[in-house]
Copies of this chain bind each other. A is one copy, B any other.
Amino acid sequence: MAYKTEHITQQIRAAREARNMSQRELSARSGLTQSHISQIERGTMEPGLASLVDVARALDLEIVLAPRKLMPAIGNILANASLTSNSLTSQQRHLVGRIDRWLAEGRDRFAVASDADSLKDSLALLRHLPLTADELETLHDLTMRLQRWKSDPPSPKEVRDFVHAVRALRNAAVHRDRDDAIPRSAYALDEEDDDA
């Protein structure tokens, strides 16, 4: 019943989640009801065009009608852009990678087994969410501990603290208000979107 528009509504959900926006927040920005948004995303009902436009705008998306034969070219542009939409500095990538490799070396360092999972989960998100300069510094300090631990094995408590600290960063990144944050992009020497 609601399958003709599924690909579109799926994109809406994907875009919302990519921005870590809740249905309620999207509701506020778009003017639709949260329950309405839920139903649209689940395919329970097909939105009217007006609603779709409202939601899209709230997500910084535009609705375009394109000739079918041009779809390859357009898909091409969209695909390339999503690759470079990384607002992460290379430093952040680097640090996360470091912790990741440390984790991969062995999970037997963790007194509490679930801590390893927790850490892995945190890293998964930190791979995609930008940190502030301060947080980045914290992350840097944390990885320095790993360095020290090579010659001086950590106590179980130290490992726990480490996991919690990383988790705290994760939470900060996840729950940040999208309106503040990431002033970094201004002087970022990281990415110039040459769109390649």
Cβ of A11 under 8 Å from chain B: yes
Given contact pairs A63-B64, A73-B128, A78-B70, A50 touches B4 in the complex (Cβ within 8 A): yes
Give the residue among A51, A70, A174 with the most B Cβ atoms within 10 A: A70
Among the interface residues A64, A74, A80, A81, which one has the most CB atoms of the partner chain B within 10 A?
A64
Q: Is the CB of B62 within 8 A of A66?
A: yes
Q: Count identical subunits in the complex.
A: 2
Q: Is A161 an interface residue (CB 8 A)?
A: no
Check A81 against B61 for contact (C-beta < 8 Å): no
Task: Please tell me if the beta carbons of B68 and A77 are within 8 angstroms of each other in the complex.
Answer: no
Contact among B5, B66, B69 with A64 in the assembled complex (CB-CB below 8 Å):
B66
Interface status of A60 (Cβ within 8 A of chain B): yes
Q: Name A's interface SS.
A: helix
Partner of A70 from B48, B72, B81 at Cβ < 8 Å: B81
Q: A70-B81, A74-B77, A171-B194 are in contact. Are A61 and B65 (CB under 8 A)?
A: yes
Contacts of A53 in B (CB 8 A): 4-5, 8
Given contacts A46-B48, A48-B48, contact A174 B68 (CB under 8 A): no
Q: Please tell me if A12 contacts chain B, counting CB pairs below 8 Å.
A: yes
Q: Which of B15, B47, B48, B70 contacts A77 (CB 8 A)?
A: B70
Q: How many residues of A contact B (CB 8 A)?
A: 49
Q: Hey, what's the 0/1 contact readout for A2-41 against B, CB within 8 Å counting as 1?
A: 0011001001100100000000000000000000000000
A80-B49 in contact (CB<8A): no
Chain B residues with CB under 8 A of A81 = 67, 69-70
Tell me, yes or no, whether A125 is within 8 Å of chain B by CB.
Answer: yes
The A142-161 residues at the B interface (CB cut-off 8 A) are none
